[in-house]
Structures are given as structure tokens and as C-alpha cells.
Structure 1
Amino acid sequence: MSELAEIKVRPLLPERGALPLLVEAAEPGMGLLDHFDELKDLVAQHLDQCGGVLFRGFDVGGVAAFRQFADAFGHPLLNYEFGSTPRSNVTQGVYTSTEYPAHQSIPLHNEQAYSLDWPMRIWFYSVIAAQTGGETPIADSREVYRRMPADIRERFASKRLMYVRNYGNGLDVGWEQVFNTEDRSVVEAYCRAHHIEWEWKDDGELRTRQVCQAVASHPWTGDQVWFNQAHLFHVSNLPEEVRESLLEIVDEEDLPRNVYYGDGTPIEFEVLERIRAVLDDCAISFAWQEGDVLMLDNMLAAHARSPFTGPRKVVVAMAQGYSEKHR
């Protein structure tokens, strides 16, 4: 264990490796913002190596102070644009975590890895810890890449992935919420700028297609990472009865979301199951404590959500946008 100005630093789960690094106040109630310079230095020293830092035992000071903490790292906080899940704005640059029912789990994923643009930094603040469950499991994306079967890794890297989304119709988030506008011309301008194909369907709803990376190279460390949401977007992620019910009322091309190889050919169900098995093996889970703040490098660490009971409130901030299309 090392100490810096009464701040304790050690791996939270040493048997699982360096992720996440625990940065703990020596005494309860130390102000998070009061020690920002020291904490920022620790992040600079360790985040590229461990992928995530958990700040525990500090007095965060509430959502507004959490926002100030994330913003102080020097990059303006990002709006949740081209999102794929329902969220609510809490304050400028701070959002609720995904508003799915408590009984549902959310698979491991890197934020917005289904696009060519994503945040490099993401923060989670546990305002209210669930009565049971509600963890935010994480995984080292470098380890996922290394453990992925070579045939899948090579096929995904060469073919890339095509994400197909159909918005609205009571089945998924409406395009107005995803693009934060009711103006079709604004949507079309966004799609042009981000290499997204779009079409307005006869019912007035929107369909988009975008070909994106399946693996990526971290721009600063050079590490190869598994970086996509194929297992989450693919229709096989739905429970079988839900999938069958949906396909009784819509054609496959009208499913709320689905993913194919970049050339438009189907991804085999068996391949997705093998991918999910690797992700499950790499998952690292720990219980939230109220006041915890988790900071992740969004390319080096994936995150998820476990089912829970009782009230739970985790808010999220993102920063340092990165664009694969400009590499």
C-alpha cells in the first residue's frame, strides 16, 4: 500500500489484477474536490495502466460537485448524443445511468462503441446504493481482446460491423431523443458528418446504418482492445420469447436494433455466444458504496449493470470525445 497526502492507493481486488485501482480517503469525509490536484496526479500516473480508478470514502458534495470534479480534468463534459438507451439529463453534462427496469441486466460494453465517435473518459457516481445488487461490473478490454478466440478476433477486425437501428414506433428510443432535435435536417446533417447512412421510412420513422470498428488501437497506449457492441445490439441478445414476438410483428430489417458484419452478412448466433462467454469470464464485480466515484478509460475498460432491488441512483458524466473517422 502506498500513501500520498493521506490518500491510500491499492488494487481493490488484487486477485483480479489492477482494475480497478482503489484510491481511498484515509479518514471518512475528506473532500473529493479539496484533494483534486493529488487525485489528478494519481489518475495521470495509473489510469493508462489499470484502466479504471475507484475513489472511495471521500465527501463528494453532491451531483453539482461531482460535475465539477469530472469537468476539472480539463475536457468539457459531453452531451449524450446518438445514444442507444433511455437516460435523463440531471444537470449540464451529467445524466442518469441507463433507465432500464431494475430486473434487467445490461451486458458489458464500452460507451458508444457502436459508433465512430465516443468519449475517452467516463465517470460514475453512486448517489444511492441499491438494497441488493445493482453493481456496475467492469472488464479490461485488453484482456477481452487477448482472450477472444483468434478466429473471431481476426474475422471481426477484417470485416468490421454494421449497426442497423430503427427508432421509435414504441419499440425503441425515438429519433427525436437520440438526436436531441425534432428537425429532420439536423438529423441528416449529423448523419452526414458522422458517416451514417439514413432513410426516412413511410411511417415517418428513421432507419440508420453505420459501419464501425470491431477492434481498435488505443490512441495513447497503442493497446489493442475489443471495442464493439455486437453482442448487445444483435437480436440474439433478446430473450427468445421476446425475439420471436418481435419477429411476428416486424421484419428483421425493422427490428429496433441489430448488427451484421460490415459487408451486411449475418453474424452467427454461435459466434455471439462465444463472445459473451469471454466477456463473462473477464467481468469484475464489486458492490457500490454510497459516495463512490468510478473513473474509467472508456477504451480500456468496459462496464455493465447487474439487476437490483430497492432505490438505486448512479449518475454519469463523459468527456474527451474521440473520433475513429479522423485516425
Structure 2
Amino acid sequence: MMISNSVKPSLKSLGVAKRQAITDVVRITPLIKENSLPLLIQATVEGVNLVAWAANNQELIKKSLLQYGGILFRNFQVTEVAEFQQFIRVVAGELLEYRDRSSPRSAIQGKIYTSTDHPANQKILLHSENSYAANWPLKIFFYCVTPAQQGGETPIADIRKVYQKISPTVLEKFAKKQVMYLRNFGDGFGLPWQTVFQTNQPEKVAEFCYQNHIKFEWKAKNKLRTYSIRPAIAKHPITGEYVWFNHALFFHISSLETNIRESLLAEFKEEDIPHNTYYGDGSPIEPEVLHEIRTAYQQETVVFPWLTGDILMLDNMLTAHGRKPFFGNRKVVVGMAEAYSTDD
């Protein structure tokens, strides 16, 4: 839909400093096709302050996010990470610390992080942020400071539709058995436990594990192994829709690049590799099931190029995200908000 005046306005004539719904300076339409994420909210005049616009259009943003699962804000006046942080606070409250980590990230400012420090030549599969954990953010935000020279897109997928594409037999099995996540730390591969748990103290790790229903064991030479069993299917707390919400495919050894997988299996037993997934009873997830899940994600994947200043807002329980390999300098930062847990 278009929400604009017939004559292209200037900010001065609109008086955007006044408290008003500034919908006359934006164009709202699906980015790619009807009924598909993300929804594009694009400023049609220069200098529109995103924080001010969002503050006056919160109900529109909230309803649109639940409908589409993701909103791309484009052409707004956002030039600093501090403004991105302020925008998150306006639409979702205080930002969350990144703990129980699975991706290497560096702090940029406050609780804003690099989206990932993963090598540029490797892709990151679609996943739902922290869906392997007892707590996760309901909202996740990405801000493109500098797009890559080539590649580096953030693919997204509606996990309501992913759920609908998975066969009832597979859904029923995961609903009954859940997912077991096995992780090993300290062998020089993957993240060290000190980074994952943001502490150097084993007793703090133990406390975190007890609080978050994670079984753990310390191995020789200060190495750590953890096990956790989590649901594979979730119900969105607001819409009531069922979603495919887990890291079953993402953490499975079959998702590693072939050369990396072969190198790890040549050096370690399967139970000692950095991460793997099983059914909750410890039985292996069948190759054909993994293929079905992978296909469902692929069929729902949406990809678009980043532009400087873009902000992507995702409902983490409606939309998965990933990253394409890239060439050249790329700076995309991330912030998360609205903690939710299996106990809520």
C-alpha cells in the first residue's frame, strides 16, 4: 500500500518535529511480493528521523511485524549505531546481553554487537536466535552500516511456513521426542566456554547450567561438555501460531562444510565434536528427516541486498535468519530485545 501525499513534501512543510503519525513521508509495501516478508517501510523524503517516526507509529509496527514476521526500514536518517540502539529501545525496550552464545560476536557499543565474526567465505545457515537455549529474544534487529562489495546478504525465512512444509510424521516425532543439543568446548574448535558463558569461572558456568536446565560435565584439561533437551516446535506467544523453532539442523554435523566435517571426524569421536544434535532420547536424526527440514527452509528463503542504513527488524519466533558469504568490507551490527523463555 502507499501512504503518501500527491505532492512530494519536504520535512519543513510537514513539521515532523511535532507529535504526529508521520505516515505521509513513508511508502509501505512488501519488498518482494504480496504476503511475503519482509514488509518494506521506506522514507520518501530525505531526513526522516526513524526514532521519531517509530515512536509515533508503534501500533503500525507491532501489527505489521506480527503479520509479516519482518520489517525492513529503508532510507531513514540513521547514521550512527547510537541511533540504531535508540530505535530498538523505542520499539522493543531495553536491549539484551548476548549469552549462551553460538556465534562469534564482538561488542560494538553497549549491547550492540557485530552480527557475526564468522569467516567471510562461509555461509551461516538459517536459524532462530538462541532457539537451543532456555531463554531467547523475541525481537532481533540488524543495521547495515556498510554493505559488502559482493554477497553478504541476510537470508530470512518465515518459520510458520517452514513448519507447514514439514510432514506431520516428522512434526509428531519431534513434538514427542524434542531435540538434544550436544556441545563440547575447549578442544580448539568452535567457541571456548569462556566466550559462550561470558565468564572465566567454572562455578559461574555451573550456576548458569543449573538455572537453564543444561546438564554438564568437566573433562580433562578444563574442557566442558553440555547437553540440553529443548522443544523443536513452539507456539508464538501472541499469534498462537505453531513455528519450527530450533537448531536441530543448524547444529547437526551434516550441516558443516564437507571438508570441515571430515577433518573433525578424523580427529574426534562423534560425541567430542564441537556440536551436534539428536532426538531428545539420544537417537540419531535420520538423514531423510534432515533433508526434509533443509528443503523446507530452502523453499521459504527470501534474499535481498543490503543498502547502507537499512534496518531489519525480525520477530525471532516468526522468522529465521542466516548470512551469505561475502567479499569486501561488510559491517552489519545486531541488537536483541524482549527476553522470553520456555517457562513463560
TM-score range, shorter chain: over 0.9
> Which residue of structure 2 aligns with residue 134 of structure 1?
152
> Which residue of structure 2 aligns with residue 63 of structure 1?
81
> Which residue of structure 2 aligns with residue 224 of structure 1?
242
> Which residue of structure 2 aligns with residue 6 of structure 1?
25
Amino acid paired to 2:85 = R
Question: 1:36, 1:275 → 2: CA distance?
Answer: 36
> Which residue of structure 1 aligns with residue 186 of structure 2?
168
Amino acid paired to 2:277 = V
- DSSP-derived class of the 1:311 partner: coil
Instruction: Give the alignment of 1:188-267 within 5 angstroms.
Output: 188-267=206-285
Deviations 1:249-287 (A, max 9, x none): 111111100011000111112211221111111101111
Shift of 1:203: 2.0
Q: CA RMSD in A?
A: 1.2
> Which residue of structure 1 aligns with residue 129 of structure 2?
111
1:84 counterpart (102, 126, 138): 102
> Once superposed, which parts of structure 1, at least 4 consecutive aligned residues long, lie more than 4 Å away?
none
Question: 1:163, 1:290 → 2: CA distance?
Answer: 37
User: Is this contact kept in 1: 2:70–2:312, CA < 8 A?
Assistant: yes
Shift of 1:74: 4.5
Q: Percentage identity across aligned positions?
A: 47
> Which residue of structure 2 aligns with residue 44 of structure 1?
62
Question: 1:106, 1:268 → 2: CA distance?
Answer: 22
Amino acid paired to 1:9 = I
User: Is this contact kept in 1: 2:54–2:91, CA < 8 A?
Assistant: no
User: Is this contact kept in 1: 2:215–2:228, CA < 8 A?
Assistant: yes
User: Is this contact kept in 2: 1:97–1:314, CA < 8 A?
Assistant: yes
> Which residue of structure 1 aligns with residue 202 of structure 2?
184
User: Is this contact kept in 2: 1:116–1:213, CA < 8 A?
Assistant: no
**Matching of residue 320 in structure 1 with residue 320 in structure 2:** no
Q: Normalised by the size of structure 2, how large is the TM-score? A: 0.92
- DSSP-derived class of the 2:337 partner: strand
> Which residue of structure 2 aligns with residue 26 of structure 1?
44
What 5-or-longer segments of structure 2 have no aligned partner?
4-22
Question: 2:165, 2:95 → 1: CA distance?
Answer: 33
Question: 2:134, 2:211 → 1: CA distance?
Answer: 11
- DSSP-derived class of the 1:119 partner: strand
Question: 2:211, 2:65 → 1: CA distance?
Answer: 31
**Matching of residue 295 in structure 1 with residue 301 in structure 2:** no
Q: Normalised by the size of structure 1, how large is the TM-score? A: 0.97
Question: 1:280, 1:320 → 2: CA distance?
Answer: 28
Question: 1:53, 1:169 → 2: CA distance?
Answer: 40
Choose 1 or 2 for highest CA Rg.
2
**Matching of residue 278 in structure 1 with residue 296 in structure 2:** yes
Shift of 1:72: 1.8
Aligned residues: 325
User: Is this contact kept in 1: 2:66–2:239, CA < 8 A?
Assistant: yes
Question: 1:39, 1:206 → 2: CA distance?
Answer: 47
Question: 2:216, 2:28 → 1: CA distance?
Answer: 48
User: Is this contact kept in 1: 2:55–2:90, CA < 8 A?
Assistant: no
Question: 1:148, 1:274 → 2: CA distance?
Answer: 7
Question: 1:306, 1:205 → 2: CA distance?
Answer: 32
Shift of 1:307: 1.0
Amino acid paired to 1:117 = N
